[in-house]
Structure 1
Amino acid sequence: MPAASEYSARHLSVLEGLEAVRKRPGMYIGSTDSRGLMHCLWEIIDNSVDEALAGHGQSIEVTLHPDGSVEVADNGRGIPVDVEPRTGLTGVEVVFTKLHAGGKFGGGSYAASGGLHGVGASVVNALSSRLDVEVMRGGKVHRLSFRRGEPGRFEDGSRPTPEAPFVPAEEAAPLEVVGRAKRGQTGTRVRYWADEQIFTPDARFSAQDLQARARQTAYLIPGLRITVRDLRRLPGTPGESGPAEEVYQYDGGIAEFVEHLTPAAPVTDVWRLQGSGTFTERVPVLGEDGRTQMQEVKRTCEVDVALRWDVGYETVLRPFVNIIATPKGGTHQSGFESALLKVFRAQVEAGARRLKAGSDRPDKDDVLAGMTAVLTVRLAEPQFEGQTKEILGTPAVRRIVAQVVEKELTARLTATARAQKQQVAVLLEKVVAEMKSRISARTHKENQRRKNALETSTMPAKLADCRTDDVASSELFIVEGDSALGTAKLARSSDFQALLPIRGKILNVQKASVSDILSNAECAALIQVVGGGAGRSFDLDAARYGKVILMTDADVDGAHIRTLLLTLFFRYMRPMVEAGRVYAAVPPLHRIEAVTRGRKEREVVYTYSEQELHATLARLEAEGRSYKEPIQRYKGLGEMDADQLAETTMDPRHRMLRRVTISEVEAAEKVFELLMGSAVAPRKAFIVSHADELDRERIDA
């Protein structure tokens, strides 16, 4: 290690231009894996979106090519092709080679935009092994290419590739005119190859993420048409068998977005809250001489909110600034939430007697339960935290959003129209119910601890509890029917295995209200026995069992009951599923008694599917062994004796369990809504389209 005296100015490094981006890419794009690769693509797409946001261009096309490149084309004004006087470079070269350069630092080119720092296009260029840009302006098609940020020209063969010979440009790179544009036609086309020296080998463009972003943007800019093409033919993607193309265009804007985000039954219509406000801020303004001076600038902030409440308790809030998603919130989100809480507290207080709310006040979570909202604000030069733009920092936006939401929402909640008053009454009752549930759960958590065997008097009488106090080792079996319960009592280990029988098919909670669920004896008993509460207030630490095992018959009715139970857990005890503490027992379908010559004892083999049965019988025949006819087929758990049930389904040493997981919550929710929701038509279409896959032998008739 050099001594302190040897540390001098010659040890300091000064990175010029795009060298800094290549040296420290994480500073600009977050990471160099697939997430950073997608961030680069967002930067190019957002430039095209900003043109559409400013009213120039109505079409954006994004194409994923088989050679790993990606292409973004729009019909905006096109990047300026004239020479920028201070640098002596064309506008195209300035945009793609100079950090903190562009048309979004003032000057009126963009009133509101997602690009703020002027580094997006130049960062993508620096991290690309090749980038080609074509600009249509003035009836001509101009072209310029770059290799790792350096302008020049590739000598391509039959198709463009980063490996083609490259001729660097002398000083200022002239734009090459490669064709004529139709009269009045303008736009920009950018195609680039991400640099393999920078990004990790497993970095890939995600067509699914790209489509989700395109859909989201199309909702935020009504009338904008975004086309996404995937030409890569990757296995496991919609484009596996051929080129896949999706087109997104929505004229209803964020109101349609809210309806897309929530499939649950609505409590209210989609409400639109709109308004604007002004504020002043002291910012450095770039003068004609190239110097900046601090000036007071008057800004306008436009606020547009679409929101709806549904019967569930999940909250979906999507905040945006100039159509850029801010997933970690910021001042606009805090202003929205504070105004929401203030308005509802005032409404609940005003109707406390009618709502039976007493002196209790709603909390933020009570108001947000079941709410789906899209919050958008538009303003010039917003302050973000970092280039990734995940948090809005402009302080004045909080006040403006709060004022707009408070005024518009109060008008909605105090409206005199009959239909509106009915929705408001149901909504306020929902908020008060959430408040009471939260207070009850908190009281229960403070005053209750896990019940032991001597304290089960408050539990349902039909619960056969276990003796252990160790939550981690305890198991709760939810058993279908009283007939199976008797066998299960003899088969279980009462030290750590508890049993709760349910009669028939429980309530379909996907369609039911909270009050219906709590008044349903089976659902209420199940929630009480699990012990963690229900809904938003569910406390995983208070759950009384380490495993919950659904033990239903191996027939169609058993599968239906299991689906109903999973719907209840998914909707109202989801943390149990997310923690991997919910299992489905796998009872056997067949019992084979194999006979071996010369032996009196018979070998018992259990099989769990028709395929396994046929494979086992074929193996026995190949070994010259016979088996007892007829083979026993278990239709229900009650057909087994205690030893068989213990050996196959309950004894941890021999049983097989299937863990229920949620790898993708949104996909799981769509399946539950399809199978258990109130919309009949999609379920009917699903049944008809899959009718050929039905195994008639599984029907217990």
Structure 2
Amino acid sequence: MSDLAPTIPSVTTTTESSYTARHLSVLEGLEAVRKRPGMYIGSTDSRGLMHCLWEIIDNSVDEALAGHGELIEIVLHPDSSVEVIDHARGIPVDTVEKLGLSGVEVVFTKLHAGGKFGGSSYGSSGGLHGVGASVVNALSSRLDVEVDRGGKTYRMTFRRGEPGMFDDAGGSPGPDSPFAPFTDHSELAVVGKVRRGVTGTRIRYWADRQIFPLSATFSYDELITRARQTAFLVPGLEIVVRDERRLPGTPGADGPVQESFKYDGGTKDFVEFLAPADPSVTDVWLLRGEGTFTETVQQLDGKGHLVATEVERTCEVDIALRWGSGYETEVRTFVNIIATPKGGTHLAGFEQALLKVLRKQIEANARRLKLTGKNGKEKVEKDDVMAGLTAVVMVRFPEPQFEGQTKEVLGTAPVRQVVSKVVETELGGLLESSARATKAQAASLLEKVVDEMRARVSARTQKEISRRKSALESSSLPQKLADCRTDDVGSSELFIVEGDSALGTAKDARDSEFQALLPIRGKILNVQKASLADMLGNAECAAIIQVIGAGSGRSFDLEAARYGRIVLMTDADVDGAHIRTLLLTLFFRYMRPLIEAGRVYAAVPPLHRVEVVGSGGKPGETIYTYSEKELTQQLARLARSGKRYKEPIQRYKGLGEMDADQLAETTMDPEHRTLRRVRMSDAAAAETVFELLMGNEVAPRKDFIIAGADDLDPTRIDA
């Protein structure tokens, strides 16, 4: 602190009798801080001690942001005190009319008082709550402040938030010096003169060991990191840190050490400093812009009353980012140069726009990136985009809303949209740039993101295969089940296939990501006639119930079903229709909610395959028909067109006769197949039909067959 301390008359320490009502008015708010310090600084360990220092430093940085002062000095003294010196405008020393106190005393004794509420003194600031300096004062056993302003040096001292005078006549200044509080009125003493035009503030304080334990100390490494970070974010500002403590294990153990930081490149230099040494995919790109939003705030009117006022805010966005070839992510976020380690709305807007822009570019370049067909189903996720990214995201706007005094999370909601729009516009322009160097970097970036996506999908697939295998080995699921990999019930399908021969072809034809196969042998038990015990004892029925995994009968739980669709895939003949009817009987009797929910389907395999002969050596088209009538119509159409086809026309006897490509194209590929959904609009009528066709009573079924005999076309019988 300055040596310009005044000569102080002999004083005595405060006694209870001299504790007047005036002290109560001064300490009313600060006593709450001393009682609940964690509410204001987070904790009372070293982290809270450092937070107090940040509050003082941030006030000086706010002055630099406003264009006042280019140098801040921070000194760690041997007596455990810390001093912050700036060369800005200096704290106002004139009297605040409504309070009758000097500006210095108001700043250090009144909570929620300062120059950052009305919006005129600071366009954007970090110390916006107006509690920083007063909280530090309340938690200090001594705080001295000197202000150079108007050609004079002013001084005021405090003990635990109470203004008064220390008697340092016997030695160095310290919290143990005799102290006399002001009783009638406070005094902002003039202790010296300075050249006109010289301004600034010097604050030195001793943390109160009644609040902070002796183990709480100022961390030189943290201070250096914060000073360097701030110098990056405020181009042209020089920050000097000096450690005079000589603490063992610190750089200043052998004597005072000093480091200075000053950068002119802003966030660009910061990203280059943070970026790892791995090869870069892109240069450091700058995304800058601004946006406006309105919000309703409480402002003081001319009478000193708070009035709800709608104001328009301008939010400046300054982002620098760079992708490297590695996978580590380093994203730092700031609001008015105050670090927000837990993010907030500005980070959410940044990540949202980043993902949106890169997804759009990847979709536009899907063919070049080989993301067609099955590969095109996967979507790029946030982790794919963030891999290898180093970024600094900073926004500046007046009166940001933080979640708590420690300012770790930004809560101003409209900032999300502002940041998102700037990123979409600026990054989108870079990725679509025609400049050769930028265009090459953009292409490399898209390839990197797609590679990250593929690596993620591959790792997930391996994990799911392992998980599925473990589940199968530890459960009673049948070994013949060829399961799918996905655990998304909504997109998964279970094909119940007739016969092992069809299973072999279906395995090659399916998409194993979401299509599972369960073969059944021949015709299953007619459960309309059989008892519950017989049904459960039947291997095929039990396997179907176990694989679906939702129980049976009254205990059936639709939410527990392991597949989104159940597809009955049988041959296109009478036996196939019979098997399909038996399966539907099982579902109707014991798993009816699946039918009610529309989750049971019947596959529609073709009956015929017609190969049209191409002209001029070109391959002809392949036509599949699903009935004799459709075949006749197609052949007539070909004859009218003068087209020839190979004889004989292939008639499929069963699914096993198809090649895997043919089965996939006609029956299993969602883009080409036809499925017939099994509906049940009238449960009572459906139950009557099932009982008639599949029940124990033979006579009604015989009458039904005789009554419909005249309508039967003998050619439809597959004999």
Q: Same fold (TM over 0.5)?
A: yes
Aligned-pair distance for 1:388?
0.3
Tell whether the 8 Å contact from 1:72 to 1:189 is kept in structure 2 after alignment: yes
1:78-227 superposed matches below 5 A: 78-156=90-168, 157-227=170-240
Change (3 A) 1:368 1:90: same
CA distance in 2, matches of 1:259, 1:172: 54
Paired residue type of 1:330: G
Is the aligned partner of 1:68 residue 2:53?
A: no
- Aligned AA (2:99): T
Match of 1:379 in 2: 397
Structure 1 residue 53 corresponds to structure 2 residue 58: no
The structure-2 alpha-carbon separation of the partners of 1:442 and 1:171, relative to structure 1 and needing over 3 Å to count, comes to farther
**What is the identity, as a one-letter code, of the residue corresponding to 1:181?**
V
Q: Which residue of 2 aligns with 1:480?
A: none
Q: Secondary structure at the match of 1:429?
A: helix
- Partner Cα distance (2:448, 2:424) in 1: 20
In structure 1, what is the equivalent of residue 258 of structure 2? 245
Q: Distance in 2 between matches of 1:196 and 1:285?
A: 38
> Pairwise CA RMSD of aligned residues?
1.6
* Separation (CA, whole Å) in 1 of partners of 2:111 and 2:124: 20
1:404 aligns with 2:425: no
Is 2:458 the partner of 1:445? Answer: no
1:16 and 2:34 aligned: no
Which one-letter code corresponds to 2:313 in the other structure?
A: R
Alignment of 1:295 onto 2:309: yes
1:451 Cα offset (Å): 10
| Counterpart residue number, 1:271 | 285
The match for 1:510 is: none
1:17 is paired with a residue whose SS is helix
What do the CA deviations read for 1:66-98 (whole angstroms, capped 9, x no partner)?
000000000010000000000000000000000
Distance between the aligned counterparts of 1:379 and 1:107, measured in 2? 10
Q: Which residue of 1 aligns with 2:49?
A: 37
Native 8 Å contact 2:119 2:398 kept in 1: no
Q: Partner of 1:317 in structure 2?
A: 331
SS in 2 for 1:296: strand
Instruction: For residue 313 of structure 1, report the CA deviation from its aligned partner.
Output: 0.3
After superposition, the C-alpha distances for 1:30-78 in whole angstroms (9 at most, x for unaligned) are 1000000000000000000000011111110000000000000000100
Q: Distance in 2 between matches of 1:399 and 1:237?
A: 44
Letter in 2 for 1:333: L
Structure 1 residue 117 displacement after superposition:
1.1
Deviations 1:427-458 (A, max 9, x none): 11000000000011111100026999xx9xxx
Cross-structure match for 1:26: 38
Equivalent position of 2:521 in the other structure = none
TM-score computed with the length of structure 2 as normaliser = 0.60
Q: Distance in 2 between matches of 1:384 and 1:125?
A: 22
Structure of higher CA gyration radius: 2
> Who is 1:421 aligned against?
439
CA drift of 1:158 comes to 2.4
Query: Offset at 1:181?
Result: 1.1
Partner amino acid, structure 2, of 1:443: T
SS at match of 2:286: strand
Q: Tell me by how many angstroms 1:21 deviates.
A: 0.5
Unaligned runs of 5+ in 1: 1-12, 456-701
Instruction: Give me the whole-angstrom Cα distance separating, in 2, the residues matched to 1:255 and 1:88.
Output: 47
1:642 maps to none
Deviations 1:137-193 (A, max 9, x none): 000010000011010111102210111111111343111111111221100000000
**1:430 counterpart = 2:448:** yes
Deviations 1:644-683, CA, capped at 9 Å, x for gaps: xxxxxxxxxxxxxxxxxxxxxxxxxxxxxxxxxxxxxxxx
Identical aligned residues as a percent: 68
| In 2: Cα distance, 1:354 partner to 1:236 partner | 56
**C-alpha deviation, 1:425, in angstroms:** 1.0
Question: Moved runs in structure 1, 4+ residues, more than 6 A?
Answer: none
Amino acid at match of 2:193: R
Offset at residue 106 of structure 1 (A): 1.1
Q: Distance in 2 between matches of 1:43 and 1:301?
A: 23
Task: Provide closer, same or farther for how the CA distance between residues 65 and 351 of structure 1 changes in structure 2, counting only shifts above 3 A.
Answer: same
In 2, Cα distance between the equivalents of 1:227 and 1:372? 27
* Alpha-carbon offset, residue 295 of structure 1: 1.2
Indicate if the aligned counterparts of 1:140 and 1:177 stay in contact, CA closer than 8 A. yes
Alignment match of 1:329 (pick from 343, 348, 357) = 343
Query: For 1:541-581, what per-residue CA distance to the aligned partner results, in whole angstroms no more than 9, with x for missing partners?
Result: xxxxxxxxxxxxxxxxxxxxxxxxxxxxxxxxxxxxxxxxx
* SS of residue in 2 equivalent to 1:233: coil
**Secondary structure of 1:236 counterpart:** coil
Deviation at 1:263, TM superposition (A): 2.8
Task: Write the letter of the residue equivalent to 1:185.
Answer: V
Q: 1:339 touches 1:405 (CA, 8 Å); kept in 2?
A: yes
**Whole-Å separation in 2 of the counterparts to 1:282 and 1:110:** 19
Name the SS for the 2:43 alignment partner. coil
Distance 1:171 1:123 in 2: 24
Contact 2:290 2:315 (8 Å CA) reproduced: yes
Match of 1:575 in 2: none
Conserved? CA contact 1:78–1:187, under 8 Å:
yes
Asked if the contact 2:343–2:409 (Cα under 8 Å) also holds between the matched residues in 1, the reply is yes
Task: Using the TM superposition, give the Cα deviation of residue 107 of structure 1 relative to its aligned residue in structure 2, in angstroms.
Answer: 4.3
Amino acid at match of 1:316: E
> For 2:181 and 2:252, how far apart are their aligned partners in 1?
37
Distance 1:362 1:449 in 2: 24
Larger displacement relative to structure 2 (187-196 or 14-23): 14-23
Q: State the SS of the aligned residue for 2:228.
A: helix
When structure 1 is superposed on structure 2, of 443-452 and 317-326 the one drifting more is 443-452
TM score, norm. by length of structure 1: 0.62
Alpha-carbon offset, residue 262 of structure 1: 1.2
SS of residue matched to 1:257 = helix
Q: Aligned-pair distance for 1:130?
A: 0.3
1:641 aligned residue: none
Q: Please say if residues 318 and 394 of structure 2, whose CA atoms lie closer than 8 Å, have aligned partners that are also in contact.
A: yes
Quick one: distance in 2 between partners of 1:58 and 1:208? 23
Give the distance between the partners of 2:355 and 2:388, measured in 1 at CA.
14
- Asked if the contact 1:334–1:398 (Cα under 8 Å) also holds between the matched residues in 2, the reply is yes
Does the residue aligned with 2:121 lie in a helix, a strand or coil?
A: coil
Alignment CA distance shift 1:313-1:107 (3 Å): closer
Is the partner of 1:111 in helix, strand or coil? coil
1:357 is displaced (CA, Å) by: 2.4
Distance in 2 between residues matched to 1:263 and 1:344, nearest whole Å: 22
Of 353, 358, 361, 1:339 maps to: 353
1:461 counterpart residue number:
none
1:527-546 equivalences under 5 Å are none
Give the counterpart letter for 2:460 in structure 1: R
Aligned residue type for 2:354: L
- 1:73 is matched by which residue type in structure 2? I
- The 1-side partners of 2:34 and 2:343 are apart by 29
Q: Contact 1:88–1:172 at 8 Å: present in 2 too?
A: no
Q: State the one-letter code of the partner of 2:301.
A: G
